[in-house]
Structure formats: structure tokens, C-alpha cells
Amino acid sequence: MLDQLSERLQKALKFLRGEGKITEKNMAEALRMMRMAFLEADVNYTVVKNFEKKIREKALNEEVMESLTPAQQVIKIIRDEMTAVLGENERKLNIGVSPPSKYMLVGLQGSGKTTTCGKLGKIFSQSGKNPLFVSFDLKRPAAQDQLQMIAHNLKLSFYRLSREQMDHPLKGLADVMEFARTQSYNPLIVDTAGRLHVDQELMDELLMIKNTLIPDEVIYVGDAMTGQDAVKSAQTFDERIGLTSVILTKLDGDAQGGAALSIVSVTGKPILYVGVGEKYDQLEAFHPDRMASRILGMGDMLTLIEKAESESDAAEAAELARKMRRQEFTLDDFRKQILQFKKMGSMSQMLSMLPQGGPFKNLSKTGFDDKKIFHFEAIINSMTLKERENPKIIGGSRRARISRGSGRSVSEINQLLKQFFEMKKMMKQNTFQKMLGMKGMKS
């Protein structure tokens, strides 16, 4: 996520840490490095200029320059200003005074609006709500099919507009709202038309829907990979129909970061969620402070912990901790952990949430191939229960049999066993506790 920008900014911070004292000269060089990083990431020029001005004013303050740790204080200033650029305070979705709450998603074609409707619906259904989807594209009736398929896959409800309702959209909207209210659906998630470019006909259609629906949120869905184009489009939508918030999609792709770092400052609208994958559970709540920390290489342990808590079984975790303390960890336990990792997302995503320094410096830059997780699972599944409990008995003939059963090479089996025995050795030496700064593995 924003790897290129993050790497360039971390170089600037590393340069500052290497300076014994902060001067106008080395501060100017650090700011130049950050400016180039931002501009190459397609961040709005005005945003960059204001960011640089604020950093310079605060960093060259006499109190900072004469402190015992000037570089650390400047880095804190940079992190705080980055958080301010991203939105400063986290904001949650507005909830309607009386149900159903109504959320209207707008944006250009291909930005991921329809998929985002599904992701939002999944979030609500997991919290005990009963969402209803409706697609309101007056020019493209087939748009309903895509959202209906998503609703079907998620086992959620979809309202299909008839031809007559699409010909008389005011009546159609009234029918949808009445149906949602009487059938106790909440919230109502409304997908709207998209075009490759903004045009008057689209804006008139969206304004009519907004004025009739009176939504609790008008959410702009922007493609993070389009950089400043997403920001300009958001500005236009805001000026013509009025937005309340933003969701950025495809932040897991080759996104330079320009949209994420510009859209809040330029539009004044907060980012509520970011899409970090194509699956329906890959929509994350946006935390400006956590995102700033991740971009600057300081990690995002809170999000990592929340992911683990949401996907893990508390009883299994407690049993695993007990086994690790007693060095009773087996390959079967390792397999269970692999299954938990698969639920949480890719290994590369999780590693990106670790601080890019200290004990995690090398770990977070391993370039871990997520396919290895699946290969390791296949290898362990091909072992007998006795082999999983005591892998020391796995000799040459057993390795050959496991290789045939899993479809993986003997060298991969050797690699798995080597890593497993190294992990056991680390547990025995209490390396994990020391590395994470814990008093015990219960944490």
C-alpha cells in the first residue's frame, strides 16, 4: 500500500535521524526529499506546498532545535502534519434519525462503486443489520444485474426496479423507500449511474435521486490508482450535487498515493473507508493517524491486532499460547495458524503493518510469497498425525511420500521443516518474548 511513496519518505526521515542537530540547511534538504516524493506520487501541488510550509515553521522553532532529541521531535511534527492532511480525526458513517439509514454511492464508471456497495453491505450484515441494495441507473438497466449478483453471493436482499419504475424514477424511489421501511430493511444502499466522464445528464440524474432520497451520506467512490483525476472528479461531484464523504478503492494496487493524500484537503470531505482488495471483506475503516504511521514506516499494529481479533478463535489462541510457552507447538498447530492467516488476508499486507525498523526491520522486507502459505498447508495436510506431532521422524522415504501427496518438491518440505525447527528453537530461547518486548506469551 503506497509502497513507492512510503519508501521515499522513509529515506527523508532516515536522513534526519542521521543528523546530530537540525539546521536550516539539513531541514531544507529533508523537505526537498519529501517534496519530490509527494509530487512523484501525484499529490496535489497546493497540498504539498502547504504541508512543506507548516513543517518548516514548526521544525525550525527554537524550542525544537535546542531540544535533546531534535530529529525525533521533527519526525513527530511530520507525522502529525501527515495525519492532518489525511483528515486528522476518524469519522464513522452518519446514522439516520429514523430507519432506514440511506447511503447513496456516486462516482465515475470503473471506480468500483457496485463492488463497494457489496462490501458496505457485508460490514452492516456482520454487525447485525439487514441491508437492502438497489441500483438506480436510468440509462443502463443491466446495471441491476451486477448488483443483484453481488447481493446473491452475500446472501443479502436486493430490490429490482421494474421498467415502469425506471421510466418514472420519482415513483420508483418512493416505492423503494416504502418497501425498505415496511419490511424493516436497514440501511438502504443505493448504487447510481457512472460515466467515463462527468456530464450534465449524469449530474441531473444524481441530483434528482439525492433530492428525493435525502440520503444520510452521499459517498464519492474514487479509484486511488487514478491519482489527481480522482481528486478533480470528487471536486466536480461535490460542486454539482454535494458530497458528505469519500471511499477510496484499489489502494492495494500500484497506487501512488496522490488521491489519498490530496482528496481530504482539496474537497474537505473525510475518507471513511479504503478498499484493499477485491474480496467483499477487504474494505477497511480509514484511520488518518494509522495511515500516516504506515506511510512513514512506523507500522499499524492496532489494525493488525483488530484483524487478528476479528478472525481468531479466543479459545484456540489461548491454547496456542500455552503450547508455545511449554514448547509443545506442533506442525498441526502451525497448520491451524496458516488457516487463520488466510482469513486475515495476504502475508504481505500484514507485514506492511509492522514497523519498518527495530526487530521487524528484516522481517517486513522479506518479500514473502503468499503462495508459500498454501504450499505449506498442502505439505502438512499430506503428513500423518504422528508426523505432525513429531516431525523428527520424517526421514527420506517419508519426505518422498509427502512430496507425492502434496505435489510439492522435497526441497520445499525440507524448507518447511527447517523453518519449523528454527521457530521451536526461538521459542525455547524466549526470543519471541524479547523481540516483542512482552513479559510472557499471554500477551
Q: Is the peptide bond before 270 cis (omega within 30 degrees of 0)?
A: no
State residue 111's pLDDT score.
87
Give the model's confidence band at 152: pLDDT under 50 very low, under 70 low, under 90 confident, else very high.
very high
First-residue to last-residue Cα distance in the chain? 28
Give the model's confidence band at 225: pLDDT under 50 very low, under 70 low, under 90 confident, else very high.
confident
Structural domain boundaries in the chain: 3-86, 102-298, 302-436
Using alpha carbons, list the distances in angstroms from residue 368 to 249, 371, 373: 24, 9, 9
Give the model's confidence band at 435: pLDDT under 50 very low, under 70 low, under 90 confident, else very high.
very low
DSSP H or E run through 21? none
Mean pLDDT of the chain: 81
Give the model's confidence band at 441: pLDDT under 50 very low, under 70 low, under 90 confident, else very high.
very low
pTM for the full predicted model:
0.70
Using alpha carbons, list the distances in angstroms from residue 15 to 24, 29, 61, 69: 14, 9, 19, 14
State residue 404's pLDDT score.
93
- Grid cell of 216 as nine digits: 444520510
Inform me whether the pLDDT recorded for 190 exceeds 90: yes
* Span 102-298 CATH architecture: 3-Layer(aba) Sandwich (3.40)
Amino acid 47 reads V
Nearest CA to 266 out of 13, 1, 40, 49 is that of: 49
Inform me whether the pLDDT recorded for 242 exceeds 90: yes
Are 143 and 135 in contact, with CB atoms under 8 Å apart? yes
CA 243 to chain centre: 22
One DSSP character per residue, 269-302 reads --EEEEE-SSSTT-EEE--HHHHHHHHTT---HH
Among 226-230, 239-243, 310-314, 349-353, the range with the most confident prediction by mean pLDDT is 239-243
Inform me whether the pLDDT recorded for 327 exceeds 80: no
State residue 67's pLDDT score.
64
- Grid cell of 29 as nine digits: 534538504
Helices and strands (DSSP H and E) totals, the chain: 22, 8
Q: Point out the least confidently predicted range of 33-47, 198-212, 225-239, 420-434.
A: 420-434
Are 107 and 220 in contact, with CB atoms under 8 Å apart? yes
State residue 113's pLDDT score.
93
CA 86 to chain centre: 14
Helices 396-406 and 410-428 pack at an angle, to 10 degrees, of 110
Q: Which stretches of 165-299 are assigned E, i.e. beta strand?
A: 188-192, 217-223, 245-249, 271-275, 283-285
The pLDDT tens digits of the residues spanning 338-363 come to 776 666 555 555 555 555 544 444 44
Give the model's confidence band at 366: pLDDT under 50 very low, under 70 low, under 90 confident, else very high.
very low
CATH T-level assignment (fold) for domain 3-86: Four Helix Bundle (Hemerythrin (Met), subunit A) (1.20.120)
pLDDT > 70 fraction of the chain, expressed in percent and rounded: 78
Amino acid 383 reads M
Inform me whether the pLDDT recorded for 317 exceeds 70: no
Give the model's confidence band at 389: pLDDT under 50 very low, under 70 low, under 90 confident, else very high.
confident
State residue 116's pLDDT score.
95
Whole-angstrom Cα distance, residue 114 to residue 130?
18
Inform me whether the pLDDT recorded for 311 exceeds 60: no
Q: What three-state secondary structure class fits 128?
A: coil
Inform me whether the pLDDT recorded for 30 exceeds 80: yes
State residue 359's pLDDT score.
41
Whole-angstrom Cα distance, residue 28 to residue 332?
55
Sign of CA dihedral 226, 228, 230, 233: negative
Whole-angstrom Cα distance, residue 300 to residue 137?
39
The pLDDT tens digits of the residues spanning 90-121 come to 888 999 888 899 999 999 888 889 999 999 99
What is 302-436's CATH number? 1.10.260.30
Judge whether 3-86 and 102-298 match in fold: no
